[in-house]
Amino acid sequence: MVAGRVVRFDSVRGYGFIAPESGGDDVFLHVNDMQVSEEYVRPGVRVEFEIENGERGPKASAVRLARGTEGKALPPYDDSLCDVLSAEEFIREVTEVLLASAPSLTGEQILQTRAGLAQFAKNHSWTEG
């Protein structure tokens, strides 16, 4: 078993990601591989799981709350407070922040920074598409 913390979980789509405590890439989490009610799976929750090779990389299976967490009452997570932006919305927002906070950046610097941040957001499923 591997221990980690939930990074993101979208209950509407039924999937998310776990960051292993040992480091490395985030592991894909699907609702069908959970042994705990999805109302308790939210960012920051410590879980234990097995790692399998999925079609697109590492995949969590047999996911359960970590030892010491099982008996504790956890209030349901309200996912409605988390916005997932489209890639275009994210780029637009990042551009506005860069222009407001660092007006001396050149256009090329903004494009490079924006591209790096967009890829980072995509890798962590912070954006759609």
Complete DSSP assignment for the chain: -EEEEEEEEETTTTEEEEEETT-SS-EEEEGGGBSS-GGG--TT-EEEEEEEEETTEEEEEEEEEPTTTTTS--PPP-GGG---EEHHHHHHHHHHHHHHH-TT--HHHHHHHHHHHHHHHHHTT-EE-
pLDDT category at 78 given cuts 50, 70, 90 is low
pLDDT at 60 over 70: yes
Domain ranges of the chain: 2-71, 83-128
Other residues' Cβ atoms within 10 Å of the Cβ of residue 118 = 17
What number is the average pLDDT over the span 26-51?
89
| Mean pLDDT (whole number) for 100-110 | 92
What is the per-residue pLDDT for 11? 83
pLDDT at position 59 is: 93
pLDDT at res. 76: 53
- CATH 2.40.50.140 is the classification of domain 2-71: yes
Range 13-31 average pLDDT: 91
